[in-house]
Structure 1
């Protein structure tokens, strides 16, 4: 309980483990599937780092030679924004979308 609000310890997307920043944005089955869809469309081989900060650093390094660095930098943020919106949709509106509907 925090500030009089009972917090759910389970991830709203997969329901399998506690919802931490690293789990939600990198390791949740739902998020992982969304990442796989994008990476396979772009033909990118990627090993997911353990932490969000590491993911951003690795992503920036991988995009050093990208033709459009601005777009490259937006990709993880766009994926995380979609994940965050889906998480809140499930949490506050009880509406669930499958991953295919997001891409």
Structure 2
């Protein structure tokens, strides 16, 4: 992964609302935007901002379904990020 990608992912995961989104999307496998809004009890523009950060970081995949958008986790990107984090502690344990 490029340093900018790692930085973007780390920043995206540094917010408690975005972490909660990731946890719930993982638990349910996918989640529509409206359900994310209900879960967070935030205004729709705030939720959209958080989702955009996660999509821009490559962590969430948007999928249009009719007039709605649902989100799932990009396991490949997340896997590369985990591999990077593991490389930071290898041989240091």
- TM exceeding 0.5: no
Q: TM-score, normalization: structure 2?
A: 0.32
Quick check: which one's strand share is greater?
A: 2
Quick check: which one's helix share is greater?
A: 2
Larger RCO, structure (CA 8 Å, separation 6 or more):
2
Q: TM-score, normalization: structure 1?
A: 0.30
Please tell me whether Structure 1 or Structure 2 has the larger radius of gyration of its CA atoms.
1
